Every structure is written in C-alpha cells, then in structure tokens.
Structure 1
C-alpha cells in the first residue's frame, strides 16, 4: 500500500495569527522524516494538522492517495505517539495495548496475537500485567509506542516522544525507534527540537522556522550545505562560527577579508559568481578550525572537556571563536593560540536575507 503523505499549501491560523504559512511537504512511502525546529516554529502544529487534531485554514492533506483534509482522525489511516504517553492509568499495559483493537471490534484471538507480537517486538512481555504507575518512564513510552504499532497503520506520527526521558533512555529508545522503522517500513513523521535525535533518526530532516520549512534534506546535506543562516546556526553543537566581511578578487584567487583576517576561499562553490567588494557572512563549523599552542593572534578563554574531544573557546581579531580539538588538548586560560581555517568546509550567506550564496 502507498502510505505517502502530501501536504499542499497548508495554512493554519489561530486567534487571527498565522501559525503555518503556505507550507508544502511530501513524505514518501516508507520514509522517516523529522520535523526539527525551536519551540514555537509550528512543527507540532503541522503534525497535529496531519493527524486531524487541528482545523486548517486552507490547503490540503492527503494520506495514501486519499484527501483527508477534513476527515476525522480515526479515518486517516494513521497512529500517533504523544509526548505525555497518554496511557489509561487504570488499565494494565496489556489493556492499554488492546484498547484500540477492542474499540475497532477485533476478535479476541486477533487482539491477543497482535498484543503479544507487539510486546515481543518492544521487549515488554514481562510488563503486560502492570499498570502505568508501576512502570518507569522508558517502559511507559514503550507501551505508548506499542499502542501505535499494534494498530498496524501505515503512517505513524511521533510528537516529541522522548523529551521526558533521561539521556540514557533517550539513546536506547532512539535505537529502538530506528530499528522498528527498519522492520516495519512505516511512513514515519517525527517531531523534535533535539538535533541529535533528528540527525540519528531521519532519512530527511525538515528544518522549520516561523511556520515554514527553511530547508529539507538528508542529515548530512543539512549539516554540510545549510541553505540559510538560520539552518546553519540551529544545526550543530557548538553552533557554527559567523563573521562579517567582504570578497576580494585577485588574479588567481578569491579571498574573504575581515579587517586583518584574509582567507583563500577560491574552492567555494557559490550559486552565483562572487563579486569584488561583495558583503558576505562567513560561516565555519568548530571542527573545521584547528587550534595550536603557538604565538598567534588568538587568546584562550575556556576549554570544555568532552572526553574524546574538547571544545575550545577563544577570541582574537575582534571576534569570538569556538573550535573542536582532541581530548588531550590543554592550555592555560589567556594562552596565545593560532588557528588554521579549513576553507574546504565553509558556508557563505547573504548578510541581509541570510540565504546561502
């Protein structure tokens, strides 16, 4: 069955405020798409609209080649996992898993078989006789995921399902969700503000900002080729370094110039030819900076040890910089540093509209 989800020119208004602006998105059959963005960007609103939990002002939503723009949630052929688990507190895990099947009129033998199969898949067979208050946060979320899986729908929606869990449980359940997607090949739309979840789970990431999609692409494409400054700044931890400057064209090279800093950027693949004196915003990720304990123009502010690597904060040439270094890098605060720039890994943006040049 074709479980493609297509959103066309969607607009959603609340209290005379536009929350979603003429948004279009296609999630292909069996694809895992993550809606990523900061709080208030509209990602959960979009997910709820696809689920049928919100009315739309204009545009259309189709699922499995059916227009479901105004269909009831139960008629859309999908299942949803919520951030808050939403388990029935007086029911056991088994009863929570079985509830939707009972309401749908499934036979007892079928319900038993599907609940046991789902519990086995999620490794919660030993928890089926427990009520939610007897389960840990991770166990409750597994039951919530199982309640969606047991319905055997082709489209699954996840609304920040791991945000209430600690780091270890988030890591475990990320792997579980990815494994489940590989096993069942559902079309999956997943909302999060956590870029690590997005990068590790998604086939494609849709980065949202102010009610629209800024960029959609594979995790590596989003990371290495951000199409706007917002995407470049939002993806990556620590965030990309930015500095304002201009372009100087020589006979044999193209340089980015900012005060006394001059960098050869001749290999940069610009969308349009760069021009003499053109103002640009230069962006470079921390891992593309190599710091050395030499007598250079930069001064160390702080080293954050992260184990295998460390984050180096420094300043110089009237700017602050953040770089990544090997975990054994040490220096005293205030020490003079040198920085080498890998100009094969840079991004240039229009300083006015933030678009990639």
Structure 2
C-alpha cells in the first residue's frame, strides 16, 4: 500500500508537467516511443526532467533589523565563477567567516536574501549566487534552461574554492540536496542548514514517470542517461543512505514545513535521522514562504553562530516522525537509530 507521504509526493512533484499529462499528448508520445524508439524516449524524458520550472520573480522579504550593508537584492559585491565551462554570477556582503546561500530548483539567489542582513550583522561574509541555467547565471552543460543536481553541487564547490572556507551553508530545496551531496563528496563545511531538502531523487523520478506514462524501457533509458550525464550512479544521490555510511559529518539543522507541497515532508526527517542532526518543523509556511519567515531566519542564524562540534541528540518517537498539523512548531534532535524508511517508489 502506498504511504500518505508517497501519495502526497505523487500528486505534487510533477506539477510542472500536470497540464501536458492531462491533455494526453505526452502520454501518447511516450507510449509510442516505448515500443518504437526507446532511445529517443529516454532523451525526451531527460530533457523534460532537467528543465527547471519558470518562476515569477518576487522581491525578497528582509526581516527587520540592522541592514546598513544590505539595501536591496543587488547591492552586494558582484562576482563570477567558472563552473564546468559555464559562468555562475553572484553577490557577496559583509565581512568575516564565509556563509554561503544556495537556492533550489527553478529558484534564484534572491529567494535567500532575507538571511543576508541578520548574517551580516552577526559578523559573517555572505555569498549567494544563481546556479547554472538559473537567474543571471549562464547556461549549463545541457544548454539554456536545463540543469542537473550535479551542477548545483559543482557550483557550490567552485564558489567556495573561489572565496574561502565555508563556515556554514544555508541551502533550500534541491540546493540543500546538492549541498549535502557536496559535503558527502568531501567539501569541508563547519555547519549546515538544510531547508526543505529532498532526501533521494529516485521516488521523484518514479512519480515523474508515472505522471507522464513513461514505460519501463524508456524509464530505464532515462536513468542510464542520467547516470552517463553526471558520471555516477543515481544511488549516489540518496543522502540518507550515504550519510548513514559516512564518517564524521558537520552539525546539521533541517527545517521542514508539514504543509510542504513541493517535496515530501518526511524527507527532512529522513536526512536528519541519518546525519544525525536537528529537525525543526513549522506549519503552514509551505515550500517557498518558509524562506521569508523571520523565526526560520533567526533559528538558522543562531545555529550558524553556535560553537561546538555536535548537538546533543535524543531518540525520536513515532509521533515525532509523522506530521502533526495541530502543532505549530517544534525543534527535535534526532538520532541515527531512528532512521525513517525512505518513501518507496510504487510500480
């Protein structure tokens, strides 16, 4: 039986393709390609999967407080960094240890600018950038408006190399997953905040396939092409499994909203238990508004400012692990013994 989390994931992760799927057009195409030209079907599926959604630009919400060095989204010191032959564009503010801000799939650096004033006032040098094929940055390896999770991770690594050691990274959505990947691959980071992260892409790929009617042959081609494109197995992107197998990892705070309609709300707990780290839940902020919430900003900055190497943890209970909409918010340390099962792909 499909779990509630899996059902929610199935109904939301493929929102960008819902209209095309409802019309039946893409489903008919993939049904034909499954039998006649599975290689072409794999290429079409890969192209669709690697296309970020177009989002309307919105002005960042800046929390009240000292902001003398932050008067707008583009007032920081501009910079560019080469990433895999492309050009990443970003801005930096303040002075002190480096804190990096990584946005998510289809987003841009402006979405995290609400963190800048508080971080600058706390004595940090804040660096934010647009990923390849996002915002003001150039195209990635697949051309304009196409990107991959690996490119997100490579951009973070390149930006850190160009500026200086990462005291902390605050990352959102796919940017959080890419940050976890970079850290597990060896990027030194002293403290890490993941907001609304994805734990494992495979269940999302499964939902994508079901929504567009992609059959097993084309689906296998899609995964093979993904692996060939990034030069590694798709299982390498399973953050929960890799974190459980890793050695010492930096202290982690995961922030996840119970009403997130873009990623499975259970993913945050999956990562936090495997890391291990702290899990802070909110209610009613969703996937995007959570970045503009003053309480979330303050909790993230307070965590960045903490000293020590590892937060004290306690086991979670089943009630902790499941969403509880009646509660407004809670912050729980979690332990590796309480790993939640990753949402399973339903055939």
- Shorter-chain TM-score range: under 0.3
Structure showing greater relative contact order (alpha-carbon pairs closer than 8 Å, 6 or more residues apart): 2
Considering fraction of residues, name the structure with more strand.
1
Higher Rg: 1
Considering fraction of residues, name the structure with more helix.
2
